[in-house]
Structure 1
Amino acid sequence: MNNWFKRNSIHFLIAAIFLVICFLYFTPAFQGKTLGQVDVFGAQSTQKEINDYKAKDTTILWTNQIFGGMPTYQIWAPYANNIASTVVNVLIAVFPNPIYDVLLFLFGTYFLFSVLKLNPWFAAAGAVAFTFSSYNIILLVAGHSNQALAIAFFAPIIASVLLTLRGRYILGGSLTALFMALEFKANHIQMTYYLLMALVILVCIELYHAIKSKTTPAFLKSMAYLGGALVLALLVNASLLWSTLEYSKYSYRGPSNLTQHTKEPSNGLSKTYAYEWSQGVGECLTFLVPNAYGGASGPSEAIDQNSATAKVFLDKNIPADQAVNYAQQISGIPGLNMYWGNKPGTSGPFYFGAVICFLFLFGLLIVKSRLKWWLLGTVVLTMLLSFGGNWPYVSDLFFNYFPLYNKFRAVESILAVAGICFPILAFLAVQEIVNATDKNAILKKLYLSFYIVGGLTLLLIALPQLLLSFKSTDAQTGINYLTQAFKGDSATANSVANAIVSDRIDLERADAVRTLIFVVITFGLIWLFIKQKVNLTVLSLGLFAIVLIDMWQVDKRYLKEANFQEKQDANQVVKPREVDTFIARDPDPDFRVFDLTAEIKNDETNPFFHKSISGYSAARLKRYDELMDNQLATNPPNHDVLDMLNTKYFITQGQSQSISMQANSTACGHAWFVKSVKLVDNSDQEMQAISSFAPKDEAIVDKQYKHLFDGTQLSTDPSATITLTHYNPDHMTYQSGSTTAQIAVFSEIYYDKGWKMYIDGKEQPYFRADYLLRAALIPVGNHKIEFIFHPASYYTGEKISLAGSILLVLALGGAVYTENKKKKPVVAAKKA
């Protein structure tokens, strides 16, 4: 045991250093503060009803709190039989947010570099480089923990795949299954998709070399283990993936139900929406020089009294403090931001590190491993796809023809994959230097790399406008706004705009100088090692230190102590208005409220207090989204549709900005019997029909459901009743009484993948009416009617997840046993 500790002492030391880095960088997190409170509040709004029932020790898979009603799969669901859920929950319980994410990044990447057989200090430096890549830190600041978690598993998945391809089949396959299970559990399909694209490139390159070297059987064996690992990871996440796959066809990202009354394509997202956040082609210079495009959008702290913008006001004899204040405010105006790229806004650039970019280019010149071609191919592809609408030739090919690709937006996020490729090749290059026998050849390529990177950086210092314009495409919009603010003084407005350009250049130039310094230090350190002026220890520790300093300095621009806030429950921050308190007195358990003062698709306040017509979710039901576009986001919204949705109250804002409430006396209630049914041919006609109709009297039904009530003698009974007697989001109970068979419409959202209807305990069919409500034929007499949400995709999926989790534990146990068994003969031989 003592020998084991001695052999692994360097790893324990590096682990301790990782913990120290986390403590120093994220000190407020250890003091109980947290990041991403805005996103947390938004999530709590969406989860209001879910959390209310969790407090009663009840799990619900359907919530009526937002958008009329939807499954909770993409909001919150327990997935208790999934072992990956247990692992993630333990991490969250032990480490404060975002420390568990950061530690996963650090140790996962360290594991990858260890598998690549790098010097431990090189591995540690590589882990720091990827972990503190600016995009990862910006995600943590924004509170996008699922996305960050998905990216954190990139490195250990790659490591496990490489182990398997190298012939460590059981260990590599088991670890691949474990980390892929955790990746799927992170539930960010877009990031997982991007990673799988990179792994496909790796497998293709490995196949080529297997054929070339005639080792195809070993390759096929490794692929069999990787295939088994993937299947096992899918089994572990069966309930999550099955329910997500099932729901995706009906969600906002699924196919359109309309052909005439739609703003969306027939399938997937609109290209304009998907490409909204596209990386500028020239913006890739930020990999090397973070402020090449001005950094983050919004008011900039870089604007001080020495800035050109402030001097415009100082020249007009405005006091210094006031001049700086004006200048900083102007730097937050669209078109006049320090950030001048084409994105609608950004929290910061993709910065991979000056040290890493220099070593990456060096790696392209000296690394002999075939991994170089995988890394280069992946970087080139991800860069081309990140350009989206700015250079659409490759993106359009994927968007139009590759499965699922058109479901994703913010295409720039694919650069997270490039973010792991850069440090891998960078430190493979350093390892190549250590192992090289021909130091002179290495030195020549080091000079070439230095000339290229150093020359580019010098150009960005001396003549930056040769490469960059520093002018945003919407600059004139900002100038027009300023002209109006300056009461028609267009000369001053143009002077300010020109000063903003000057400040952008100064910002870029300062960062280019900074980058050149780090490149020179890196070059010098490697040169000294090649010339045998310093030893391996100095090189290793030196690279670790300069990578840490480089990344730390830039990340602190985006994650400061000020970004941490005291952990607060949303109920402490979001206080009910007077109208909310009044509406809450209504004892009715199930009605809806429409807050006309909020954006209908981005309302994170109203759902805190009421079951809402609006809400926020990127996975809302497609039919409801289409209804909003055509009937509710209009001016005025369709009152007939609001009635059928049982909208009892409207929240409005008067001319004096006061918030008021209006009761809706024509709301249809929870359920009602209609006098007639109007059959239509398709969803387009259905949407057109509900544009003007009497929902209390008439039901609009697609003719595909005609067989469910055709031939039944339907007649009206004025004395018939149907009332809600029990409310649970997953289990609605009604009592009906009628002397005739009638069609009842329920003011609940139609989703037949899990909802079942029972009349007096016997399952009966139901159908869709009024575009998205439930309806059913109710027989003569008094009946108990129940709608129960019991999706097989979740409940059967949970059983499969349990079986998969057991198999995964057994596989990991088998891997440990096999690895120990391999070591025993070595130990025995030493003793002999």
Structure 2
Amino acid sequence: MNNWLKANGIHLAIIGFFIITCFVYFSPVLQGKSPAQSDVIQAKATATEIMAYKAKDGKAPLWTNQMFGGMPTYQIWAQHPYNGATYIISLVKTIFPDPVDVVLLYLLGAYLLFCVLKINPWLAAAGAIAFAFTSYNFIIIAAGHSNKALAIAFCAPIIAGLILTLRGKYWIGASLTALFLALEIRSNHIQMTYYLMIALLIFIGIEVYHAVKEKKLAEFGKAMSFIAVAVTLAFMVNAGKLWTTYEYGKESNRGPSNLTTDAVEEKNGLSKEYAYGWSQGVGESFTFLIPNLYGGSSDTRLDEKSNVFKTVQGLGVAPDQALGLAQQMPVYWGEKAITSGPYYFGAIICFLFIFGLFIVRSRLKWWILSVTILFMLLSFGKHFTLVSDLFFEYFPLYNKFRAVESILAIVGLMVPILAIIAVKEAMSGSLDQKMLIKKLTWSAGITGGFAVLVALIPTSLFSFTNSSNQQLLDGLTEVFQNNRGIAQTVIDSLIKDRAALARADALRSLLFIAIGYALIWAYLAKKMNMRFAVILLGMAIMIDMWQVDRRYLNNGNFATKSDLSNFQTRDVDAFISADKDPNFRVLDLSVSTFQDASSSRLYKTIGGYHAAKLKRYQELIDKQLTQSINQDVLDMLNTKYIINRDRQNGTYRMTSNTTAAGNAWIVPSIQFVKNADEEMKAINSFDPKKEAIVDEMYKGLIDSKRTIAADPNAFIKLESYHPDRMEYAYSAPTDIIAVFSEIYYDKGWNMYVDGVKKPYFRADYVLRAAQLEAGNHKVVFKFEPVSYYLGEKISLAGSVLLLAGLGFAFYRENRKKKTA
């Protein structure tokens, strides 16, 4: 034990330092506070029904009716009890509070990678800090993109496992690859996993080239066979998650369109306009080096020291009004509709990255450079469509993801890797000292020189305006009573303020470049020993990154848990909540109905917030509930209450929808249509209680020879409600067609009549319907997705095999050390 502690003491010390660092940065967690993350608050609202039934039943339902009429819980919150990765993530989250857990995973994963690259532990720690504290990694925490943050955290250790395997450490490398890939997939952010896979494909391609060149195909083939087994295991562990996601993806708004009449609608995947909605500006990439070059975040505000304030006040405007106008001015001047902050990789790291391009001899350099260039081009999206469109049109699955700028999260890992390898090689003693100092000076000159130019002549390099400048000028012209000259003067002042922010950060970056240069030079010139130089370099990197991160995630982002859960209940909420009907829906027009989940914490709504709705429901929203609201569609969705807000006085008003069709009803007739286009057209105007609109594809499920009538004595009613089990009772003297105000999803919903499984079909574009025989019977709808239940059995097998593989790999490695 003592020998083990002695051998690993430095690693334990660094891990301890990481833990302390996380708690210092997030000190409010020591007071019991949690981050007030907008997306997490939204997510909790969407999961209200799921968590309520989980507490009641001991397990979570796989379907929820809380938003968008109803949808699977796979992409909201679903238990995967046989997935071993679930328990590892839960253990970390149990030990460490949010967001300490995520940042610690950033640090530990990157530290493992740098150690695998045979980096000195203290330098490896500096590299881990550089990656972990990349601004985007903190910005997404502030926004509440928890799954994305976890997925990013597991990228570095996956690369570490892959490198170990290719180095000939087959068992330990493949086992770690399987483990971290399983955790990556379980994080449930397919987009980040997808981007990582593209990077790894490039890595493997380069390795294939070198294996052929060096005539080592046998060793490479063996390594790849172990990696193939590792990937298979990781997929097996997540079979329940992946299978359900794949199945649901085809039916979601990532899947093919059902309509052919809408020219804008994509046949498969997302529209380019939607996918490219958040594209990185080409010039904005300089924020890697100078964070406030483009004004920071959309929330950046000017104050009394700003040029805008002084200009407006100089026009005779009262100070409070001048300040109010200044604070309304958009400081961020990029082309994104809104941004939480820039991608900042650190001035020192950018300087060392350039240094690495000059001196690093490892073939990793060419992988890092290839990925960095490609991913930057892809991040430009609509601003540089030549590469983006090629991937969007031809690369499998690429068109399923939006916000293409987020691919830069992988670049945020690539850049520190090369920067730290550069320091390692510079300090290895194997390179000529004069050459190193020369290349170091060139690197400082390139990065520092750019910072100097921005500091001295910012407006000569950048316009500090965007495509919205004319709109802003028109708005200010109206404010200043059609005086365009004054409006232009205010715009000119705003440009000066934007340039001043860029200038200040350019000088700041120049200072850190100078510090980084001085430390590396001092070591090369033998003025400082390696350990001291590395520790000081790590501290400088941390200070640099820490200061910028605090702009976007600081103590002000935290609140007590009681404050976070304390939603104000309105009078209309209390009234609606008193309704004991178990499954009616609400249309809340007082919020952004289809982009806000706040109402879902209280009611089952026809709106909500989720990036992956059912495609048919999205089409229903677009055609029937957006530009104008179709009352017939509200009725068929059993929309019992409508909430509005008076714009004048801010009061809320609730209206009862007396024509809501109910949970289920009997229709006297069916109108058959040829396709989805006709089905959508038919529900433009119809009486859902009198007819059902049904696609001809379901004719085989309806026996036209049996008498169907709407006898006045017939009835059907909901007797028992559970999110994934609905029980109805009906009585009818003749056969009937019943329509259920439940969303149609045939990848799991089964219908049973008196315990016997029976067919059902889709009606009214999104609902379920069935032909039921005469008599008194019970109808039960159960959500029983094979993809989940069989997938979980595969997950169990995969988890057992992974655990066995890890155990054997570590046993084998330990035995090797003892016999060495």
The TM-score range, normalised by the shorter chain, is: over 0.9
Shift of 1:657: 4.2
**CA contact 2:425–2:431 (8 Å) conserved in 1:** no
Aligned 1:406-425 pairs, distance under 5 A:
406-425=399-418
1:731-790 per-position Cα deviation (integer Å, ceiling 9, x unaligned): 111111112112111111100000000111110111001111111110121111110001
2:618 maps to which residue? 625
Are 1:359 and 2:352 counterparts?
yes
1:287 maps to which residue? 288
Q: Could you tell me how far apart the structure 2 residues matched to 1:441 and 1:525 are?
A: 17
1:744 maps to which residue? 738
1:35 maps to which residue? 35
2:7 maps to which residue? 7
Give the match's secondary structure for 1:649. Answer: strand
Q: Could you tell me how far apart the structure 1 residues matched to 2:506 and 2:447 are?
A: 11
1:334 maps to which residue? none
Shift of 1:66: 0.4
Select which of 659, 666, 672 maps to 2:659.
666
1:645 maps to which residue? 637
Aligned 1:555-566 pairs, distance under 5 A:
555-566=549-560
Letter in 2 for 1:167: G
Q: Relative to structure 1, is the Cα distance of residues 320 and 660 closer, same or farther in structure 2, using a 3 angstrom cutoff?
A: closer
Give the match's secondary structure for 2:716. Answer: strand
Shift of 1:294: 1.2
Q: Could you tell me how far apart the structure 2 residues matched to 1:79 and 1:231 are?
A: 18
Letter in 2 for 1:42: Q
**CA contact 1:35–1:142 (8 Å) conserved in 2:** no
Identity %: 54
Q: Relative to structure 1, is the Cα distance of residues 362 and 726 closer, same or farther in structure 2, using a 3 angstrom cutoff?
A: same
2:104 maps to which residue? 103
1:378-408 per-position Cα deviation (integer Å, ceiling 9, x unaligned): 0001100000001111000001111111111
Shift of 1:411: 0.5
Q: Relative to structure 1, is the Cα distance of residues 40 and 583 closer, same or farther in structure 2, using a 3 angstrom cutoff?
A: same
**CA contact 2:379–2:408 (8 Å) conserved in 1:** yes
Give the match's secondary structure for 2:552. Answer: coil
Give the match's secondary structure for 2:331. Answer: coil
Q: Could you tell me how far apart the structure 1 residues matched to 2:438 and 2:230 are?
A: 44
Q: More deviation in 595-604 or 668-677?
A: 595-604
Unaligned runs of 5+ residues in structure 2 are none
Aligned 1:212-291 pairs, distance under 5 A:
212-261=213-262, 263-291=264-292
Q: Could you tell me how far apart the structure 2 residues matched to 1:592 and 1:135 are?
A: 38
Shift of 1:366: 0.5
Are 1:730 and 2:724 counterparts?
yes
**CA contact 1:261–1:684 (8 Å) conserved in 2:** no
Give the match's secondary structure for 1:568. Answer: helix
2:578 maps to which residue? 585
Give the match's secondary structure for 1:613. Answer: coil
Q: Could you tell me how far apart the structure 1 residues matched to 2:264 and 2:714 are?
A: 41
Aligned 1:107-118 pairs, distance under 5 A:
107-118=108-119
Give the match's secondary structure for 2:293. Answer: coil
Q: Relative to structure 1, is the Cα distance of residues 317 and 699 closer, same or farther in structure 2, using a 3 angstrom cutoff?
A: closer
Shift of 1:454: 2.2
2:306 maps to which residue? 307
Q: Could you tell me how far apart the structure 1 residues matched to 2:596 and 2:122 are?
A: 48
1:791 maps to which residue? 785
Unaligned runs of 5+ residues in structure 1 are 332-336, 827-832
Shift of 1:325: 4.7
Are 1:46 and 2:39 counterparts?
no
Q: Could you tell me how far apart the structure 2 residues matched to 1:484 and 1:314 are?
A: 18
1:148-173 per-position Cα deviation (integer Å, ceiling 9, x unaligned): 11001111111111000101000000
TM-score (norm 2): 0.97
**CA contact 1:110–1:127 (8 Å) conserved in 2:** yes
1:829 maps to which residue? none
Q: Relative to structure 1, is the Cα distance of residues 568 and 481 closer, same or farther in structure 2, using a 3 angstrom cutoff?
A: farther
Aligned 1:455-474 pairs, distance under 5 A:
455-474=449-468
Are 1:761 and 2:762 counterparts?
no
Letter in 1 for 2:73: T
Select which of 531, 543, 546 maps to 2:540.
546
Shift of 1:324: 4.2
Q: Could you tell me how far apart the structure 1 residues matched to 2:540 and 2:651 are?
A: 56
Shift of 1:447: 2.2
Q: Could you tell me how far apart the structure 2 residues matched to 1:651 and 1:322 are?
A: 35
Q: Could you tell me how far apart the structure 1 residues matched to 2:318 and 2:18 are?
A: 47
Q: Could you tell me how far apart the structure 2 residues matched to 1:215 and 1:450 are?
A: 39
Shift of 1:656: 5.1
Letter in 1 for 2:636: M
2:669 maps to which residue? 676
Give the match's secondary structure for 2:718. Answer: strand
Shift of 1:570: 5.6
Select which of 679, 695, 702 maps to 1:686.
679
Q: Could you tell me how far apart the structure 1 residues matched to 2:661 and 2:321 are?
A: 57
Q: Could you tell me how far apart the structure 2 residues matched to 1:657 and 1:427 are?
A: 56
**CA contact 1:36–1:140 (8 Å) conserved in 2:** no
**CA contact 1:261–1:630 (8 Å) conserved in 2:** no
Q: Could you tell me how far apart the structure 1 residues matched to 2:290 and 2:37 are?
A: 30
**CA contact 1:278–1:410 (8 Å) conserved in 2:** yes
Q: Relative to structure 1, is the Cα distance of residues 451 and 689 closer, same or farther in structure 2, using a 3 angstrom cutoff?
A: same
Give the match's secondary structure for 1:597. Answer: coil
Letter in 2 for 1:466: S
**CA contact 1:262–1:626 (8 Å) conserved in 2:** no
What's the C-alpha RMSD, in Å, of the aligned pairs? Answer: 1.5
Aligned 1:715-726 pairs, distance under 5 A:
715-716=708-709, 717-726=711-720
Q: Could you tell me how far apart the structure 2 residues matched to 1:563 and 1:116 are?
A: 36
2:364 maps to which residue? 371
Q: More deviation in 527-536 or 787-796?
A: 527-536
Q: Could you tell me how far apart the structure 1 residues matched to 2:693 and 2:304 are?
A: 66
2:627 maps to which residue? 634
**CA contact 2:300–2:332 (8 Å) conserved in 1:** no
Give the match's secondary structure for 2:722. Answer: coil
Shift of 1:40: 2.6
Letter in 2 for 1:562: G
Shift of 1:819: 0.3
Q: Relative to structure 1, is the Cα distance of residues 45 and 5 closer, same or farther in structure 2, using a 3 angstrom cutoff?
A: same
1:511-536 per-position Cα deviation (integer Å, ceiling 9, x unaligned): 11111111112112212211111111
2:590 maps to which residue? 597
Are 1:496 and 2:490 counterparts?
yes
Letter in 1 for 2:85: A
Q: Relative to structure 1, is the Cα distance of residues 735 and 459 closer, same or farther in structure 2, using a 3 angstrom cutoff?
A: same
Q: More deviation in 811-820 or 444-453?
A: 444-453
Q: Relative to structure 1, is the Cα distance of residues 408 and 122 closer, same or farther in structure 2, using a 3 angstrom cutoff?
A: same
Q: More deviation in 449-458 or 43-52?
A: 449-458
Give the match's secondary structure for 1:291. Answer: helix
Letter in 1 for 2:3: N
2:183 maps to which residue? 182
Give the match's secondary structure for 1:534. Answer: coil
**CA contact 1:36–1:144 (8 Å) conserved in 2:** no
Q: More deviation in 375-384 or 45-54?
A: 45-54
1:128 maps to which residue? 129
Aligned 1:76-225 pairs, distance under 5 A:
76-225=77-226
1:415-452 per-position Cα deviation (integer Å, ceiling 9, x unaligned): 00000000100011111111224222222222222222
Shift of 1:493: 2.1
Q: Could you tell me how far apart the structure 1 residues matched to 2:131 and 2:621 are?
A: 42
Q: Could you tell me how far apart the structure 1 residues matched to 2:437 and 2:661 are?
A: 81
Q: Could you tell me how far apart the structure 2 residues matched to 1:287 and 1:405 are?
A: 25
Q: Could you tell me how far apart the structure 1 residues matched to 2:708 and 2:141 are?
A: 60
Q: Relative to structure 1, is the Cα distance of residues 496 and 776 closer, same or farther in structure 2, using a 3 angstrom cutoff?
A: same
Shift of 1:248: 0.5
Letter in 2 for 1:694: D
